[in-house]
C-alpha cells in the first residue's frame, strides 16, 4: 500500500457571514498586481447565485473537469490530440467579461477639476486600458442575492431544478460559499497543461504552477471546473491559489484561514492511497463519487497505515498530525463535511460542512421551535428545496449524505441545548444519527470551541536531515574560510594561513560572501566579473575538468 | 557590389544563425519566465478564434512548403518524374493558399490588436518591431509566389534561391545564385533573416516551446518539493 499526504481544508458554512475578509486578505497577499486585477484566488459567493466567473458550474459550456469515455477518464475538454489541435485559440476560455472588467477611479479629478457649481467626482476608469468605463459587473455583483430573480435564474444549479423549486427557494434559503482552489487528488488543470507546468506536490498535495515552465497556452483555465486557475494577462502565465504554501511549509495556516473572522476554516493532513484515486474517480454513477473518495482516505490510527506511511517516506510527525487532523475528523469520523461538486471527478480536497442555519431559520420563522430535534429532523426532511440544492452542490444530486450531515448537526444542537439548559439528556438523539454522547461532545468542541491549534494542525515541511551534497561533512557553515560569516579571502593571505579571517582585502570586500564557496546553489559555477579584483583565478571562472574535485580557490 | 553581395548572402546568414541560436540560448537561461505566448484571448476571443488558427495553421503549411522547395533538389523531383509544370502548379496553388491564409489571419490579428483598446495597451515594444517585419516578409513571399505564376516569368527559384540556401549548410555559400535572383526573392530572404534575428528577443520564442511532449506524458504530473527537479535552485540565475 502506498500512502500519500495532503494538506486539506474544511469550511463550516454555518459560520460564514459573507464578510469577504478572506478574499481581501488573499488578494492583498497574492493578486494585488498588474495582470491579476480580476483574479481572486479566494472568493465568496452568495448561493443561489451565478458565482465568479459567471455561471462557472455550467460544464456543458466550459467543459472543465473529467468525463468517462468508455470507462476511461478523459478531460472533458478532450484528450491530448484535441488539446494540441486547439493550441492557437482555446474555444472554452472565459474572457474578462465572464469574470468582470476590473476598474479603478480617477481620483485625481477630485483635486484637478476646474472650479464649478458641482462637486467633482472620481469617475471609473478601466484598470486594463485606462479608458473611461461603465461598471456593469463585479466579482460579487450578486452578493446577498443582489440583482434579484433575474440573476438567480441563471444559476446553473437552479436551472437543473424546476421552476416551482426556484420560486420557493428564493423565500427560503441563502448562504455563502467561500471558494479557493480545491487542490484535487485528480486535478484536471494539471492534466490539460501541455507544457507540464502545473504539478501536484508529492509532499503535501498542493497544486502549483511552475512559472518558468508555463508557456501561456491557458488550457488549465478552461480545464479547471472550479475556474480557479487565472491567466495573468501582464506576464502571460497562469496563476492560481498556492494554498499559501510558504506559510503551510512553516506550519502556519493559509492567509484566508488565518484572517477568517468566523473561524470557519479547518486545516489538516489527510492520508490517502494514490493507487485508489484513479478507480475512485472513474466510478460509473456520479452519486457514488462521494463514497468512492471517502474510500481513498486512510485511517492514520490504523497501525498498518502508519507503517505503510512511514515506508512511503511520510515523516513521523505528519502521521501524528494526520491523527489529530480536524479535517480528518470532520470528513471521515463524523462525516459532516462534503466535497464540492464531486461530479467533476477531480476528487477535490477542500470540503464543506453544509449550512443548517437556514433550515433552523425557516423553522423558527414559521413559529416552531427551531432547535427541537423532532421538528428539526422533520424540517430537514420536508425542506426538500434547500436539501436538493445542497445535494447539487456537494453530492452530485444525491440528498442522502447531505441529509445525514445536516441531521448530525441538528442532533448536536439539540443535545447541547439540553446540556446548557440543564435538561434531561436523551441518548436517543445521538443514536438516531449514528453517534454517541462523547462523539457529539467532540463534534461540538470541534465545530464550536476549537482554538487556533485545534483548527490548524499543520506539520512543518522541514527535512529531518540536512542534505550534504558536497560531502564536506557535518558542521556549521560558518566554520572555515569562505563561510557566509567570514571575510573574503585575502589576496596574499590565502586560505588556512594565519588566522581564519585571512588578511583583509578591501578590493574584495564587495564580493558576495558566499560566491565560490559552494554554499549558494544559485551562484555555483558562476563568477561575477564586476566583483573580481583581477588578482588570482576565482573558482568557477573556468569550467572544472570532468572528474576532478573542486579544490580551494587558488589565490 | 561584389562585396555587398558577399556580405548579404555569404556572411549575414551566418550572423543571423548565430544570433538566433545564441539569443535563444541566452533567453532560455536568463529569461525563462519570458517564454510565453503572451496570449490576449482573455481580452478578445471572438476574432481570435478565427484568426489565431488561420494564421498558425497557414504558417505550418507555409513552413512545410519552404522545406520542400528549399531543401528538396530539382534532380530528386525529376527522378520521381514530377513534371516542372505540375510542381509549380502545386507550389502556386498549395503555397499560395497557405500564404493567403497566413496573411488573412495576420491581418485579422493585427486588426484586433489595433482596434481592441485592452490588446493595444498590452502591445509591447518588441511587438511593434516584429509585426511590421512579419507582415512584410509574408507579403514579399506571396509576391514572389505570385510572380512565378505570370507567363513572363522565367525565373526558377529551385535553381537559384534553393541552391544558395542549401549551399549555406555546406559552409560554401553560393553567393552568385542569390545575387542573381529577382529583387522580390532577395527582399524576402533579407526580411526573413531580420525576422530570425529578432526571433529570440520577441514573443516569437514561444514557437520553440511547442509542447509535443504532452502527447506521451501521463495526465497528472507529480513533483517533489525537496528535489526541485526543474526551474528551482541550481542553474537558474536570479531575475
* Residue for grid cell 484568426: B51
Q: Which residue of B has its CA nearest to A519?
A: B234
Q: How far apart are CA A73 and CA B185, in angstroms?
A: 52
Please report the pLDDT score of residue A526 as a whole number: 63
Residue-averaged pLDDT of chain B? 90
Please report the pLDDT score of residue B194 as a whole number: 97
Tell me whether B29 touches chain A (CB under 8 Å): no
Site from B219, B223, B228 to mutate, A interface, most A CB atoms within 10 angstroms: B219
Q: Residue-wise pLDDT tens for chain A (555 aa)?
A: 899 999 999 999 999 999 999 999 999 999 999 999 999 999 999 988 899 999 999 999 999 999 999 989 999 999 999 999 999 999 999 999 999 999 999 999 999 999 999 999 999 999 999 999 999 999 999 898 877 777 777 888 887 776 655 555 556 578 999 999 999 999 999 999 999 999 999 999 999 999 999 999 999 999 999 999 999 999 999 999 999 999 999 999 999 999 999 999 999 999 999 999 999 999 999 999 999 999 999 999 999 999 999 999 999 999 999 999 999 999 999 999 999 999 999 999 999 999 988 777 777 777 777 777 777 887 777 776 678 889 999 999 999 999 999 999 999 998 999 999 999 888 888 998 999 999 999 999 999 999 999 999 999 986 554 454 554 544 555 555 554 445 444 333 344 434 444 444 444 444 444 434 434 444 455 666 666 667 777 766 676 666 655 544 444
Contacts of B37 in chain A (CB under 8 A): 215-217, 236
Please report the pLDDT score of residue A469 as a whole number: 52
Q: What is the CATH number for B24?
A: 1.20.950.20
Contact B221 A190 (CB under 8 A): yes
Q: Where are the alpha helices (DSSP H) in A72-159?
A: 80-85, 96-99, 108-112, 148-152, 156-159
Contacts of A235 in chain B (CB under 8 A): 33, 36
Tell me whether B4 touches chain A (CB under 8 Å): no
Closest chain A C-alpha to B50 CA, distance in angstroms: 8
pTM assigned to the model? 0.84
- Residue B208 contacts residue B202 (beta carbons within 8 Å): no
**A280 — phi, psi (to 5°)?**
-65, -40
Assigned C-alpha cell, A520: 549558494
Q: How far apart are CA B110 and CA B135, in angstroms?
A: 9
The set of residues, in sequence order, having a beta carbon less than 8 Å from that of B216 and lying 6+ positions away, is none
Domain assignment of residue B236, yes or no: no
Please report the pLDDT score of residue A375 as a whole number: 78
Assigned C-alpha cell, A133: 468605463
Numbers of helices and strands, H then E, in chain A: 24, 15
3-state secondary structure of B190: helix
Contact A215 B53 (CB under 8 A): no
Q: How far apart are CA B177 and CA B187, in angstroms?
A: 14
**A182 — phi, psi (to 5°)?**
-85, -10
Domain assignment of residue B201, yes or no: yes
Domain assignment of residue B94, yes or no: yes
Domain assignment of residue B150, yes or no: yes
> Which of B40, B210, B234 lies nearest to residue A521, judging by beta carbons?
B234
Contact A524 B56 (CB under 8 A): no
Please report the pLDDT score of residue A527 as a whole number: 66
Q: How far apart are CA B22 and CA B29, in angstroms?
A: 10
Q: How far is CA A139 from the centre of its chain?
A: 18
Domain assignment of residue B105, yes or no: yes
> Percent of chain B, pLDDT > 70?
93
3-class SS shares of chain A: helix, strand, coil, % to 5:
35, 10, 50
Q: How far apart are CA A350 and CA A340, in angstroms?
A: 7
Q: Which residue of B has its CA nearest to A237?
A: B36
Structural domain containing residue B98: 2-214
Domain assignment of residue B14, yes or no: yes
Closest chain A C-alpha to B212 CA, distance in angstroms: 8
- How deeply is A318 buried, as exposed, middle or buried, from its count of CB atoms within 10 A (0-12, 13-18, 19+)? buried
Contacts of B227 in chain A (CB under 8 A): none
> Which of B209, B214, B222 lies nearest to residue A202, judging by beta carbons?
B222
Chain A to chain B, count of Cβ pairs less than 8 Å apart?
A: 149
Domain assignment of residue B233, yes or no: no
pLDDT tens, position by position, B7-23? 999 999 999 999 999 99
- DSSP string for residues in A443-460: HHIIIII--HHHHB----
Q: How far apart are CA B181 and CA B174, in angstroms?
A: 12
Please report the pLDDT score of residue A170 as a whole number: 56
Contacts of B211 in chain A (CB under 8 A): 84, 87, 194-196, 215, 217
* Touching A: B residues 202-221, CB under 8 Å: 206, 209-215, 217, 219-221
3-state secondary structure of A419: helix
Element spanning A220, H or E: helix A219-223
Q: How far apart are CA A471 and CA A506, in angstroms?
A: 32
Tell me whether B61 touches chain A (CB under 8 Å): no
Contacts of B225 in chain A (CB under 8 A): 201-204, 249, 461
Bigger pLDDT: A35 vs B226: A35
Tell me whether B117 touches chain A (CB under 8 Å): yes
Closest chain B C-alpha to A253 CA, distance in angstroms: 19
Q: Where are the alpha helices (DSSP H) in B72-182?
A: 74-79, 84-90, 96-115, 117-121, 125-147, 161-169, 175-179
Domain assignment of residue B219, yes or no: no
The maximal CA–CA distance of chain A, rounded, in angstroms, is 93
Please report the pLDDT score of residue A251 as a whole number: 94
Please report the pLDDT score of residue B22 as a whole number: 97
The set of residues, in sequence order, having a beta carbon less than 8 Å from that of A122 and lying 6+ positions away, is A105, A106, A107, A109, A110
Q: How many domains in chain B? A: 1
Tell me whether B83 touches chain A (CB under 8 Å): no
Q: How far apart are CA A457 and CA A413, in angstroms?
A: 25
Nearest to A14 by CA among A369, A468, A444, A429: A444
> Which of A194, A199, A233 lies nearest to residue B42, judging by beta carbons?
A233
DSSP β-bridge partners for residue A537: A554
Q: Which residue of A has its CA nearest to B228?
A: A201
Number of CB atoms found within 10 A of residue A146's CB: 12
Amino acid at each position: 500500500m502506498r500512502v500519500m499526504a495532503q494538506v486539506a481544508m474544511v469550511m463550516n458554512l454555518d459560520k460564514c457571514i459573507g464578510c469577504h475578509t478572506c478574499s481581501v486578505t488573499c488578494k492583498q497577499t497574492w493578486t494585488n498586481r498588474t495582470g491579476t486585477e480580476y483574479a481572486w484566488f479566494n472568493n465568496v459567493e452568495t448561493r443561489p447565485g451565478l458565482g465568479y466567473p459567471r455561471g462557472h458550474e455550467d460544464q456543458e459550456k466550459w467543459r472543465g473537469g473529467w468525463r468517462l469515455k468508455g470507462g476511461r477518464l478523459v478531460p472533458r475538454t478532450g484528450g491530448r490530440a484535441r488539446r494540441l489541435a486547439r493550441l492557437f485559440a482555446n474555444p472554452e476560455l472565459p474572457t474578462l467579461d465572464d469574470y468582470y472588467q476590473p476598474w479603478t477611479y480617477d481620483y485625481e479629478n477630485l483635486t484637478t477639476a476646474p472650479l464649478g457649481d458641482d462637486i467633482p467626482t472620481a469617475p471609473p476608469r478601466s484598470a486594463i486600458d485606462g479608458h473611461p468605463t461603465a461598471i456593469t459587473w463585479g466579482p460579487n455583483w450578486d452578493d446577498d442575492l443582489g440583482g434579484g430573480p433575474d440573476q438567480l435564474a441563471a444559476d446553473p444549479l437552479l436551472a437543473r431544478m424546476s421552476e416551482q423549486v426556484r420560486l420557493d427557494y428564493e423565500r427560503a434559503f441563502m448562504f455563502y460559499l467561500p471558494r479557493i482552489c480545491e487542490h484535487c487528488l485528480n486535478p484536471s488543470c494539471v492534466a490539460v497543461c501541455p507544457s507540464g507546468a502545473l504539478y501536484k506536490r508529492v509532499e503535501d498535495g498542493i497544486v502549483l504552477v511552475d512559472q518558468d515552465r508555463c508557456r501561456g497556452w491557458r488550457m488549465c483555465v478552461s480545464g479547471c471546473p472550479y475556474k480557479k486557475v487565472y491567466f495573468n494577462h501582464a506576464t502571460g502565465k497562469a496563476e492560481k491559489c498556492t494554498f499559501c504554501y510558504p506559510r503551510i511549509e512553516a506550519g502556519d495556516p493559509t492567509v484566508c484561514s488565518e484572517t477568517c473572522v468566523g473561524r470557519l476554516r479547518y486545516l489538516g493532513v489527510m492520508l490517502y492511497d494514490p493507487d485508489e484515486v484513479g478507480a475512485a474517480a472513474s466510478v460509473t454513477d456520479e452519486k457514488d463519487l462521494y463514497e468512492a473518495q471517502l474510500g481513498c482516505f486512510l485511517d492514520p490510527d490504523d497501525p498498518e497505515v502508519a507503517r505503510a506511511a512511514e515506508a512511503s517516506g511520510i515523516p513521523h510527525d505528519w502521521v501524528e498530525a494526520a491523527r489529530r487532523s480536524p479535517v480528518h475528523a470532520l470528513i471521515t469520523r463524523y462525516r459532516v463535511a462534503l466535497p464540492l461538486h464531486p461530479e467533476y471527478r477531480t476528487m477535490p480536497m477542500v470540503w464543506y460542512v453544509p449550512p443548517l442555519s437556514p433550515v433552523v431559520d425557516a423553522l423558527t420563522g414559521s413559529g416552531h421551535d427551531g432547535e427541537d430535534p423532532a421538528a428539526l429532523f422533520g424540517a430537514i426532511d420536508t425542506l426538500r428545496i434547500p436539501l436538493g440544492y445542497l445535494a447539487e452542490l456537494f453530492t452530485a444530486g444525491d440528498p442522502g449524505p447531505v441529509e445525514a450531515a445536516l441531521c448530525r448537526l441538528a442532533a448536536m444542537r439539540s443535545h447541547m441545548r439540553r446540556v446548557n439548559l440543564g435538561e434531561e439528556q436523551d441518548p436517543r438523539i445521538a443514536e438516531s444519527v449514528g453517534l454517541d454522547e462523547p462523539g457529539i461532545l467532540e463534534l461540538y468542541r470541534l465545530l464550536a470551541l476549537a482554538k487556533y491549534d485545534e483548527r490548524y494542525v499543520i506539520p512543518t515541511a522541514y527535512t529531518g536531515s540536512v542534505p550534504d551534497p558536497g560531502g564536506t561533512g557535518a558542521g556549521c557553515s560558518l566554520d572555515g574560510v569562505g563561510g557566509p560569516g567570514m571575510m573574503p579571502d585575502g589576496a596574499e593571505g590565502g586560505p588556512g594561513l594565519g588566522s581564519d579571517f585571512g588578511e583583509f582585502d578591501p578590493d574584495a570586500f564587495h564580493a558576495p560572501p558566499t560566491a565560490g564557496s559552494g554554499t549558494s546553489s544559485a551562484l555555483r559555477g558562476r563568477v561575477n566579473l564586476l566583483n573580481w579584483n583581477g588578482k588570482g583565478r576565482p573558482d568557477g571562472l573556468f569550467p572544472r575538468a570532468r572528474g576532478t574535485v573542486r579544490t580551494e580557490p587558488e589565490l | 557590389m561584389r562585396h555587398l553581395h558577399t556580405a548579404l548572402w555569404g556572411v549575414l546568414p551566418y550572423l543571423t544563425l548565430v544570433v538566433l541560436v545564441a539569443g535563444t540560448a541566452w533567453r532560455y537561461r536568463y529569461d525563462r519566465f519570458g517564454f510565453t505566448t503572451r496570449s490576449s484571448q482573455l481580452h478578445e476571443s471572438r476574432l481570435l478564434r478565427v484568426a489565431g488558427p488561420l494564421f498558425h495553421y497557414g504558417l505550418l503549411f507555409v513552413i512545410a512548403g519552404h522545406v520542400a522547395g528549399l531543401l528538396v533538389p530539382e534532380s530528386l523531383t525529376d527522378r520521381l518524374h514530377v513534371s516542372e509544370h505540375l510542381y509549380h502548379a502545386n507550389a502556386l496553388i498549395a503555397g499560395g493558399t497557405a500564404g493567403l491564409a497566413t496573411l488573412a489571419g495576420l491581418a485579422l490579428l493585427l486588426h484586433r490588436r489595433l482596434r481592441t483598446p485592452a490588446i493595444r495597451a498590452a502591445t509591447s515594444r518588441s511587438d511593434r518591431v516584429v509585426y511590421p517585419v512579419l507582415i512584410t516578409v509574408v507579403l514579399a513571399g506571396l509576391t514572389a509566389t505570385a510572380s512565378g505564376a505570370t507567363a513572363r516569368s522565367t525565373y526558377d527559384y529551385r535553381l537559384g534561391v534553393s541552391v544558395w540556401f542549401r549551399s549555406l549548410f555546406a559552409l560554401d555559400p553560393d553567393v552568385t545564385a542569390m545575387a542573381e535572383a529577382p529583387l522580390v526573392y532577395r527582399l524576402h530572404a533579407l526580411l526573413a533573416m531580420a525576422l530570425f534575428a529578432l526571433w529570440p528577443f520577441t514573443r516569437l520564442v514561444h514557437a520553440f516551446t511547442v509542447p509535443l511532449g504532452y502527447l506521451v506524458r501521463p495526465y497528472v504530473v507529480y513533483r517533489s518539493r525537496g528535489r526541485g527537479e526543474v526551474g528551482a535552485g541550481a542553474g537558474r540565475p536570479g531575475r
